[in-house]
Structure 1
């Protein structure tokens, strides 16, 4: 009860979702001590929503440019860390916590914990990986098992489940983790910044546990089928490759990005055409520049 808790939210052009999320924070039975909302240069009515909010402890941070999710979470975490908060709870703008969500998290020992997501019908939709394979070069998709692919429902889960990666959506981290490994890497912009942080935390000796009874409700359906020939496809390829270059557990795993890029280029006439081929080759080139994480 003596820990000071800050919520860190990143939002971009989803003012109505943000308003519902802030209402959920206001209904928590254990109120956070501060709520830092990084407004990533939104062009909708996000400023108005933040301006009229009566949520105690709300601190809007308006950026001049869109820093992406990675840059936004880094800025928000850095702000909370520098102001001395003991616990930082990361939140996206499209989720609503159950009233006892923070209470249930704080009851569990551990420096890295995640709330477990469900959809609006109550179905389990927690995508955190129970197994994230950075050893097998033939595992094209490194997430080989997730919470929701392992357990049919929340009721079927044990009280906590150890996971190997996270989403910055309900992730609670204590300041000793940041003391040890630093902040999220803003260079990812979007995608895999949370995976990178989770890998660093686990390798520094901090296990990550999903807390079954800490409920977080997603307001939108999951849509992971991004256009790999579009701008998001570039970041998905680049950041996946960067994770393998940085953390692949053997030389073949670290070479997997080259194999993936070659296959995509060869199959491009049947898939995304020249646009996807350009994305993957540029992503491979740029991921090589990200081999070494930035200094803390």
Structure 2
């Protein structure tokens, strides 16, 4: 294969120290990236100083300081749009709390596939890859559509085959060729946080692309996963709303597309004994909002 150019897209918000470690990891790659696009979501900590330091060390940074916090979804929308316009052959999406092993980019570039996912572990080396091996939008009784994931299916990295077929990904080590953006467009910035990566992966798979988790592409997560969000908080609204949007857009039958209504009903009925009024309000707001987001916006359509 001829050499391909690659740009990294990083989204960050008020995690300057973690960002610094991640940029150190990019600078140490055995195959260096051609460009590193950083979208700073209006950080108020010392993010600018960290970026200036790494720019001075020669990392090919191209920084956008957003005046507003666009969320992860808006940040990846903007960064991917800029990297695509830059003409790069591959684009590698990266969060600010992971550190790639020195050969991670080299391993990914050695795979002749359009959609690839690095495989995450924690700082102790334990496999923590939560990308779905099965994401069920066919069965209306599957309350949680992610019914299988790398972490639970294999347990350890050594138990994995060299490549694992995935049905969704995280924007945390996901690499795609520019043809994928040409075919399916950009992430939906309206998601703000949660499920924007799932939505994009579903669109890619519907366009005929396979997604592979690459065992030997190691990405180290600096923070523990915290999926126990307060469903009565602002994050709970986005978790419910965006999950409902995924069902409305991609549910394979009417029963699955009706599932958000059932979930909302159950949450409201059970609110006195579990999430309280905050969660009940969130799920009702989420249902109303999700109904207006059934269609992909023009801003996320494939570039002309």
DSSP-derived class of the 2:229 partner: coil
Residue matched to 2:8 = 7
DSSP-derived class of the 1:287 partner: helix
Separation (CA, whole Å) in 1 of partners of 2:295 and 2:63:
32
1:22-63: CA deviation from partner (whole Å, max 9, x where unpaired): 000010000000001100000111011111212421111100
Residue matched to 2:171 = 168
Separation (CA, whole Å) in 2 of partners of 1:28 and 1:168:
19
Residue matched to 1:19 = 20
Alignment RMSD (CA, Å): 0.7
The runs of 5 or more residues in structure 1 that have no matched partner are none
Matched, 1:201 2:204: yes
Shift of 1:93: 0.3
Residue 284 of structure 2, aligned match among 268, 271, 281: 281
Shift of 1:153: 0.5
Contact 1:22 1:55 in 2 (8 A): no
Residue matched to 1:220 = 223
Separation (CA, whole Å) in 1 of partners of 2:52 and 2:109:
30
1:1-296 to structure 2, matched below 5 A, reads: 1-53=2-54, 54-295=57-298, 296=301
Separation (CA, whole Å) in 2 of partners of 1:55 and 1:214:
24
TM-score, structure 1 as length reference: 0.99
DSSP-derived class of the 2:260 partner: helix
DSSP-derived class of the 1:154 partner: coil
Shift of 1:19: 0.3
DSSP-derived class of the 1:110 partner: coil
1:101-142: CA deviation from partner (whole Å, max 9, x where unpaired): 001111112100000000001010000000000011111110
Deviates more, 1:44-53 or 1:283-292: 44-53
Separation (CA, whole Å) in 1 of partners of 2:193 and 2:285:
16
Contact 1:35 1:58 in 2 (8 A): yes
Separation (CA, whole Å) in 1 of partners of 2:259 and 2:112:
37
1:121-171: CA deviation from partner (whole Å, max 9, x where unpaired): 101000000000001111111000000010020000000000000000000
DSSP-derived class of the 2:69 partner: coil
Contact 1:24 1:99 in 2 (8 A): yes
Separation (CA, whole Å) in 1 of partners of 2:172 and 2:128:
12
Q: Report how many residues are paired.
A: 296
Separation (CA, whole Å) in 1 of partners of 2:59 and 2:273:
54
TM-score, structure 2 as length reference: 0.96
Separation (CA, whole Å) in 2 of partners of 1:93 and 1:105:
19
Separation (CA, whole Å) in 2 of partners of 1:276 and 1:162:
35
